[in-house]
Structure 1
């Protein structure tokens, strides 16, 4: 957390978490913990091993670390652990599919594997871990290689992972031999079934995350653009909705969200703000042949932009997406430390349901939310990607923020510590285990305990 933010919070006289929620958010908190108003699992207990602090009664297992040999013998475990999801497998097993956000100069690239490699000069991709019912690692192997900057993604209703490239680099840039900026489908249980085929119709841009409407097959996509104009929120209408593995290759139509009268979501600061006439505008050139999509001409009314559009997930009958922060000094219309938006397709309604800071207690986590998922209680688990100490934190119905985990791996110095962000927070199919990555040094944890 930056000194500037700490000073601002201290000046506000914050004494407790003051994150605000609208009533529209209640569908996510139907679990018993929320009904009791439970504020978390207690204080974090320092880890004697210096890896991961957890509340009393919880324990972790290290499943994988960067640089160790892959059990498949394909090479070392790649670096930069990012987005991840857990899938049910046979015999009570779980398959984790994990992103590696390596760029062209990534430290430990994903090994090139025949039949699973898109561009041999790109160092990103995914690995897959198969776990038994006790979280013992049975196998670990490459699931896709030769992709670039695999940041986040999301699961499909048919049990595959959509991994997203957060780049727009073309062939000939940074040594790449093919264009990048696509989504790829990955079957963690059988990677050769999906191979390494870009889903080009879903757009070429700086992808972050996706969520699939399980009733229609529409895929919602976030764009984490690094400069103005900032990213867009998209939906992809597949020609073969809910067709199962490989169906997204059949193509479809990409559209961008327009909120009438709101060119920049950071202008909206009050939770509960609602917009009932959201429009979807066809993308002129989804391949960004000459111009990045966010720069293209969408007509006189334009489309709606937002800085740092990152996490995206489906809950109830709605899609939720995250703007990690907005800074007017960088070109946004307003400032905030994180927003969660809810879009209800059946009502064409967009609602701002969570705003993080600046009234949050300086001792609590609560800035720059990134990956986000539903917890067993029906609440939220959020991976923090900000400055200073890094947490996985939970949010309850009453607006209480509680720390669930803290990364203790200091990659800096004692005088100037640095802690890697959390990413890929997800739960096992039976809700008994929380899986989470530390980005650097790349570490995958399995966390068990008395989940509510």
Structure 2
């Protein structure tokens, strides 16, 4: 794919683009391998004869799990709408995958209600856990948490658990729910009954998307996915027991929201490399949203900073990175963009616009709406596309080149009007040899293997 079709844009002159652009982009990859190779990418995508997943030459996939098939535990069918996911080291060289299911009340296959793992019997969302052996075969598949709602993304913790996020603010008594929703829950992939189904209420009740935990301070950063105006906020949670291990976040803490003085909407920032010094964090007046949703609350004379469609969030190096999937002035944003990646350095209290994605003129190629993101073990960034037309996973090299990694081939549209399910949950095995990936609909989990390190000029014994 040419950079001109899907590129990183900066509204600066050509003479300054190299310095500002390269510096901002390199920050994304802190903690990933330093090697870089001009041969970024793995070559063109080849059509899959099975019609599931197009990959470059030398790569192959294995279907680990499909919606509607029986869970190996016998607890029920594999739930619908596979979304956010993370990979953890398992016993004897194996891997444990914790997979979200973004189920609303109308979902076809609910997460089975397993005793001891149920928050609300009216909820159809939750998580499932796949245990893979050292050869990559699925040896177990079972429920991790049930009775939650619209489990979209989340994030791993430094102590080896998964924080799953409800992307909803629905209350008890609506849509068949018996309890309020909009919380974060902790799931232990090794023993889900250890964590149960306890909402981490102090982290706030809002339409959560993703979280990232600072491994040095234990602060939890959270994105709010709000499509309509006023848009979502970027939060940090200061726990009473930072880095206290499994269950420690139940002890409570303080929830705050990001304020960039003089910037009510991040969409108005258009230049990659723009830096804001000494941003502020403002206490959230009512984290439980007992009367007013958090993004509508009064944060005082200075107001608060909003952003449309805040989605992916991850920790890299010494910073937290988060995605605004898009902004549209027609929806009430201050300006229009096709995707941003922001970086916040907590030591310097510095916020930087690292990447701005540009429009796409060919629906066969990725061109808008970055969603779930993760660092690739060979360097660079992997991004799940959630836009119109064909759906891809694409990589961004250190030099700013964007290249295709995978393309979905499962057509869920009508005759003559093809449509492809979005990708989500991209993550890598701890050894970096396998990329795991979800197709949202029909819910499908893939394991992709191939020469991940070769294209970056690296070797892995």
> What's the TM-score once normalised by structure 2's chain length?
0.93
Shift of 1:226: 2.9
1:273 maps to: 274
Give distance in 2, aligned partners of 1:204 and 1:349. 27
Answer whether contact 2:364 2:389 (CA < 8 A) is retained: no
Give distance in 2, aligned partners of 1:363 and 1:120. 41
Q: Secondary structure at the match of 1:26?
A: helix
Is 1:75 aligned with 2:99?
Answer: no
Give distance in 1, aligned partners of 2:46 and 2:331. 38
Q: Secondary structure at the match of 2:169?
A: coil
Where does 1:35-114 land on structure 2 (aligned, <5 Å)? 35-114=36-115
2:416 maps to: 415
Where does 1:7-406 land on structure 2 (aligned, <5 Å)? 15-20=4-9, 21-29=21-29, 35-358=36-359, 364-406=365-407
Shift of 1:89: 1.5
Alpha carbons of structure 1 residues 265 and 135: separation in structure 2 relative to 1, 3 Å: same
Q: Secondary structure at the match of 2:233?
A: strand
Answer whether contact 1:19 1:359 (CA < 8 A) is retained: no
In the alignment of these two chains, the number of paired residues is 440
Give distance in 1, aligned partners of 2:233 and 2:65. 34
How far does the alpha carbon of each residue in 1:105-162 deviate from its partner, in whole angstroms, 9 at most, with x for none? 2111001010000000110000000001121001000000000000000000000000
Give distance in 2, aligned partners of 1:416 and 1:79. 23
Give distance in 1, aligned partners of 2:231 and 2:206. 12
> What's the TM-score once normalised by structure 1's chain length?
0.95
Alpha carbons of structure 1 residues 19 and 362: separation in structure 2 relative to 1, 3 Å: farther
Shift of 1:34: 5.4
Shift of 1:14: 8.5
Provide the alpha-carbon RMSD of the alignment.
1.5
Which structure 1 segments of 5+ residues have no match? 1-12
Which structure 2 segments of 5+ residues have no match? 10-20, 454-461
Give distance in 1, aligned partners of 2:222 and 2:216. 17
2:12 maps to: none
Give distance in 1, aligned partners of 2:268 and 2:59. 40
Answer whether contact 1:151 1:165 (CA < 8 A) is retained: yes
